[in-house]
Structures are given as C-alpha cells and as structure tokens.
Copies of this chain bind each other. A is one copy, B any other.
Amino acid sequence: MRRSIATVCISGTLDDKLTAAAAAGFDGIELFENDLVVSPWSPSEIRERCTDLGLSIDLYQPFRDFEGVGPELLARNLERAERKFAVMRELGVDTVLVCSSVHPDAADDDDLAASQLAQLADRADRHGMRIAYEALAWGRQVSTWDHSWRIVKRADHPALGLCLDSFHVLSREVSPDGIAGITPGKIFFLQLADAPHLRMDVLQWSRHHRLFPGQGAFDLPGFVELVLAAGYDGPLSLEVFNDVFRQADPARTAVDAMRSLIALEDRIATAPPATAVEAVPVRRRAGRRLPPAPELTGHAFTEFAVDGHSGPELRSALRGLGFAHTGQHRTKPVELWEQAACRIVLNSAVTHPGPATISAFAVASSDPLRSLARAEALLAPAHPNVREPGEAELAAITAPDGTSVLVTHPGDDWRSDFLPTGAGDTPGAGLLTVDHLGLAQPFDHFDEAGLFYHSVLGLDHLATEEYAAPYGLMRSRAVANPSRSVRLALTVALLRRGEWAPAVADPQHVTFTTADIVATASALTLPKLRIPDNYYDDLAARFGLPDDFVTTLSSHGILYDRDPSGSELLHLYTPVFGGRVFFEIVERRHGYDRSGEPNAPVRMAAQRHRRLTAG
C-alpha cells in the first residue's frame, strides 16, 4: 500500500517537512492548509517540489464548517470552496477533506447536510475532484463514523465519500466493526493515528497527544483490517498532532513515522483476521511482511565508554560488586569484567571524554542475522562496527538515544576477542544475570524509543508509570521479551530539563539479579547509599512488615516493594559512579514484574545527598 504523512505531523517549514518525508521513504503527503498559507512557494511550485522529491499530494485539508447552514452562508461556503478548488488544481491534488461542522449553529438535519454536501461534490466533480467527509469526534452534529456514513449514503453522489480517521473512530464508543460493511469505493481516504488512553476533553486529546501507530493504546491493526475489508486501496496516511513531534527534528520524526507504518503493515500481514472481519470478504490484505523478530535469550554484555576519570571509578565499583576483570581485548583498550552470567565491558577507546555512558549493549538472539534484517527493514540505522581481523562479527543497530544494540548468538564466541587475564576465581557477591538496563531517553525521542524496541527487537510494553522525583516528574516505561530475559527501563523527564536541574540529570544503570539479596549485600565492598530511616518507618507502616525484617532491610540499605498480588521486590542501589552510572541489585520474589519505580525518588534523593556530602 502507498504510505503518506500529513505535513502537520512534523516540525519546520514546508520545505523541511517535504524533505524529511521524502528522505524517510513516504510516497505522498497530506498538505495541511496552514503549511500552504505560510509557504513562500506558489501552489504550482509546491507541486513541482513534491514531484522532484517523488511525493504525491494525496489530500488537501481541511475545509471546515461547510454543511448544515442557511442558504446565504451556503453560497459563501461554495464560493470559498471554489477558491480552494483553484488552489488544488494548481497543487495537482484531487481530494479535499471536509470535516463535520463544529459551528455552534450547525443544523441537526441530516437531509440538509447531505444535500449541501452533494452540491459541494457536484462542484468538485466539475473540476475532476472529490470530497472526503470526515466525522470529527467533537463535531457539532456529526461526531461518529456511522453518522457520517449515513449522510454520505443519503447524499449518494459519486464525488462524495468518507474520510476515516482512526483517532476519531476509536476515541468514541461507537463500535468500528460496521466499517467493514461500507460500500466498496466509498472510503476515499484513511488517516491513521494512535493515542494513549487519556481521560480528557477529546479535542485536546486529539490536538496534543496523538501518536504514531504502535506508540499508543488503540488497536490500529484491527481498525485497518476493517477498512481494507471495505475495499479501501488508497494510501495509509498518518495524521498525528503531537506536541513533542511538532518541535522535534523532522528528519527523525519522519523515520519514526515510517517505521510505525512498516510495523503496522507487518502486523496486519501476519495477524489472524479479527472475528468481525471474518464475516465479510477480505478484499485485500496489506502486504509487506517483515522477517519475524527472533527469540531473545538474554543480555550478553553491557559496554560502558569510560575515560581516564570515569574508568578507575567504574573498575573500583565493579570490584566492589564482586566482578573480576577476566579478559583484556586483543587489540583495543577494552576490558571484560564477569560474575556468573553478568558481563560488563569497559571501553577506554572513547574519543570524547565525559561521564561514563552505556555505549552499547548486546542481546543474545536465536538468529542474529534475521534480527539485523528485521532492523534494516524497520529503518533502524546500522551501526559502523569497527572489526579487526579475527574478531567476532556483531550485528549492530543504533537505538534512538545513540546506544549501539549488538545482537549475538548464544553460541557466538565473542569472548575469544579477549585474552584471559587469569582472574575469575573471586568468590563474587552472588550476582547471577542482568535483570534490566535503565536507559534515560532524550526528551524528543521517548515514544520513538518505545516503538523502536517493540518493533525492532520484539520487546513488549509492560507498563508506563509516572512519579514525582525530587527535581520534577518522571515517566518510566518497562519493555521486555516474553521470558523477561531481556528487559529495559526507559525513562524521561515529563518536562525537558531547564537551568535548575540536578547535576546528574539522566543517570543510566545496570540491574543485576541475585537469589539472596541479604547475602549479596553483605558481600559487597563498595560505598553504600544511605537510605533514610524515615523510609523504613514509612515502609513498616505502609506494608505492616515485621520489625526484624525491616531491621534487616534497613541495615543493608535494601528497598522494598510489594504489588497487590503479594509478589515482592527487594532491591539495592549503589551511588553514582563515573559521573552518570549506578548499579542496582534485585531479588524478585513470586514473580514481581515491575521495576521498583515507587522507590526511585528515594534513590534519587539518596544519590543527591551522597554527592553533596561526599563531595
């Protein structure tokens, strides 16, 4: 299917937007009126530019408050339309979006609306154009897809059809199932937008919080199936109003948008048809399938870029955690540190000194080449991986925050790149595996990151939580594979940080599992984070915990959470090392599946306190 994007989805001037859409591989655009109005290019110049870029203009929009008016206003509206048809002819676009009227005086009269829309369609027809009528979720009289369809049927004009917008349909309570039964050829245009579930005014929800398919909570694959069942073969076109995307790099946003469509088409191609659709003949299945995401089996290693200042700090911290420096890279200043299945790589070959950073992490995949092929098909940038002769080949993808995601096979012998140091017989501290990585995301790319890890690596969105941290509100999204052997916690501040912010605004972390956190805590030989007594007093009061248990937690600085099902998390944080990194140790009991977010503010305040008092 053809793929389009509304110019309103992305930031910048019209030139910025067209360039970004073309570079991301879109076939066409919806031209938003405001982008035309502020452009120094004439409509024919815009057409020319689009042609040069290989973009068609699939829709001109919007035309507002047309129907349900008195005769005088109708005449003015038709005159207004003629002017827009002239612009459309110059643009080379044949479909115009007419939104259901939001005018307070719009008449509650389907016959009147149908007859006036038919008159408009008649005018359009004379220009070889057509009218796509769309029910806005907040339309004055017409606010549901089935109502707009009744009016279009009543008007019965070949140049009048429907525009269906997934947001307007799925944000209302009217079931979308009947869409599959719309007369073939009468859906003129399909607009796609996802959104989180929010309890707010639908207009504000629509104007500020739409997302690309797969980033929100709507069932977009099911919706598109219904539309395809009705014989729709026009473009899949994104129309996403989002405050963050509107001010972010348009090139990045356009790629994120395209990735959402590729993933959507794959889901449609691979999903079994929904029940509602089976009842009607599926005329066409949207096509392109991706290589399926291979099963991931665990975190292979995590690499930190360190410099002369942060390197020694991290080495000392790893020693304190019971890690041993087991290998030295054959050709590079890179060290391997191990403890059971926990593997940390310290890479001193950094070019830009600064705080320690998770520069790469490797996951084990049952089919690394297929993982890479899937990533490429999803426009995930390949990472230049400098490989010396004899070194293991690691497929590498660049994540939205710039981190390299390496994909290894469980059988790969990437450790042969390292010469054994002979160390490794240290007793350790009982750390077993990597539980998850905590990756602070750039503000503009949080939703992009969620879609990236979901579509590229097949990590499911477990939960998104918001909490008040000492310096402002935070959002945390947990993603993981079904077996939970690969898990990430993506975090972002709800507002981009300003001048007054903590020195370590965006720490990253690695979390290890243990089977006995008290034993592990006793074995640690690194500086402790001091957890306030007030925390333990409150904990005892909140959960009604036995005194001796609380005393044990408190004496080791272990934090605690319990979910409503009774499963428990016991966890421990270290101070921040190397300027930006801390470690966490968790003991999950009875299937606790969150990331301990309720305790994140306690950790942040304790890390801040330590930084202030320990210098």
- Contacts from A to B (Cβ < 8 Å): 8, 11-13, 33-34, 36-43, 76, 79-80, 83-84, 87, 198-201, 204, 208, 243-244, 246-250, 443-444, 468, 470-473, 493-501, 530, 532-535, 537-538, 540-542, 544, 601-602, 604-606, 608-609
Of the listed residues A83, A201, A472, the one surrounded by the most CB atoms of chain B closer than 10 A to its CB is A472
Residues of chain B within 8 A (CB-CB) of A204 are 198-200
Instruction: State how many angstroms separate the Cβ of A604 from the closest Cβ of chain B.
Output: 8
Q: Is the CB of A37 within 8 A of B243?
A: no
The complex places the Cα of A246 from the Cα of B473 at a distance, in Å, of: 7
Cα(A244)–Cα(B471), bound, Å = 10
Shortest Cβ distance from residue A129 to the other chain B in the assembled complex, whole angstroms: 16
Can you pick out 13 interface pairs between chain A and chain B where the beta carbons lie within 8 Å of each other? A13-B470, A36-B534, A38-B534, A38-B602, A40-B606, A42-B533, A198-B204, A199-B200, A243-B495, A246-B473, A247-B471, A247-B501, A444-B499
Q: Are B498 and A496 in contact (CB under 8 A)?
A: yes
Determine whether the beta carbon of B493 is less than 8 Å from that of A247.
yes
Residues of B within 8 A of A538 (CB): 33, 36-37
For A12, the closest partner residue in chain B by CB is B470
Q: Which residues of B contact A472 (CB under 8 A)?
A: 11, 243, 246-247
CA distance A13 to B611 in the complex (A): 13
Kindly name the residue among A39, A198, A248, A470 whose own CB sees the greatest number of chain B CB atoms within 10 A: A470
Q: In the bound complex, how far is the Cα of B40 from the Cα of A609, in angstroms?
A: 8
A498 close to B37 (CB less than 8 A): no
Q: Kindly provide the distance from the CB of A547 to the nearest chain B CB, expressed in whole angstroms.
A: 12
Q: Which 3 residue pairs spanning A and B have beta carbons closest together?
A: A247-B472, A199-B201, A38-B605
Q: A13-B608, A199-B200 provided; 12 other pairs, C-beta below 8 A?
A: A8-B468, A34-B601, A37-B532, A37-B534, A37-B535, A38-B605, A40-B606, A40-B609, A83-B541, A84-B541, A247-B471, A247-B495
Which B residues lie within 8 Å of A606 (CB)?
38, 40
Cβ contact within 8 Å between B495 and A540: no
A589 CB to closest chain B CB, in angstroms? 22
Inter-subunit contact B541/A471 (CB<8 Å): no
- When distances are taken between beta carbons in the complex, the residues of chain B under 8 Å from A200 are 198-201, 204
Question: Which residue of chain B has the shortest Cβ distance to A63 in the bound complex?
Answer: B541
Cβ contacts under 8 Å, A79 to chain B: 541, 544
Q: In the bound complex, how far is the Cα of B208 from the Cα of A133, in angstroms?
A: 37
- Contact partners of A201 in chain B: CB under 8 A: 198-200
* Bound CA span A472–B241, Å: 11
Does A80 contact B541, Cβ atoms closer than 8 Å? yes
A87 CB to nearest chain B CB (Å): 7
Residue of B nearest to A32 (CB): B468
* Distance, CA A601 to CA B246, complexed state (A): 13
Q: CA separation between A250 and B544, bound complex, in Å? A: 35
A609 to B473, CA, bound (A): 37
> In the complex, which residues of chain B have a beta carbon less than 8 angstroms from the beta carbon of A87?
534, 537
CA distance A599 to B270 in the complex (A): 47
Identity of the chain B residue whose Cβ is nearest the Cβ of A530 in the assembled complex: B40
Q: A511 to B500: give the CA distance in the assembly, Å.
A: 33
A36 partner residues in chain B, CB cutoff 8 A: 534, 538
B537 in contact with A83 (CB, 8 Å): yes
Q: Is the CB of A38 within 8 A of B498?
A: no
Q: How far is the CB of A402 from chain B (nearest CB, A)?
A: 12
Contact B532 A39 (CB under 8 A): yes
Say yes or no: B499 contacts A11, CB within 8 Å.
Answer: no
A500 neighbours in B (Cβ, 8 Å): 11, 247-250, 444
Collect the chain B residues with CB atoms within 8 Å of residue A199's CB: 200-201, 204
**Nearest CB to that of A541 among chain B residues?**
B83
A250 to B606, CA, bound (A): 19
